[in-house]
Structure 1
């Protein structure tokens, strides 16, 4: 961690994949509409590189667009922290949007496992 680069010092073209860490609810505010993250993720979307995200880290994808300018998550299999989990922790009125609902609204093909359990979706 001591050798980590600041995001503004990272050249996305030098990397094969990006992993957006969850950090609890913080990504809902810190990741969405963040110019540095948007630039990084757009590079990975445009170059069809691997993007991985966990829990609320998936929120960064609400700002992503494919090479034709379409919403990136549209038609993609996707998962995240679920609406029922947000309600379960009493945060549904605290967050700027409910992630599952937002991803579905954007055309994502959302699926989930049991609340608060491990569940993975891979889109190819």
Structure 2
């Protein structure tokens, strides 16, 4: 069992902070506000390991959080967008769909294509 602190910070505190900062600074720019929320609610799944190592933290615990963060972020991004975009004026469904495609689908497709190409390259050598 992992410590729930990281999960609470990543999936409760950060989304609220992202929405609040967007409301203060980006209310006139709904596309940027949406991007800010998407960026802030997508916790990086590996950079904190570097900082944990630097401060001699618990690497086993930090590593165990990786799959939890990855699964939760993929499941919760649409939920956050549904909740937070409802509070924004002038954000269309097409903007949300376009943002999700650019942030989630395109990188995933490129990763899969790269994996496929590299796998086939190994077979030829």
Structure 2 length-normalised TM: 0.26
For CA contacts below 8 A with separation 6 or more, give which structure has more relative contact order.
2
Q: Which has the larger radius of gyration?
A: 2
More helix, by proportion: 2
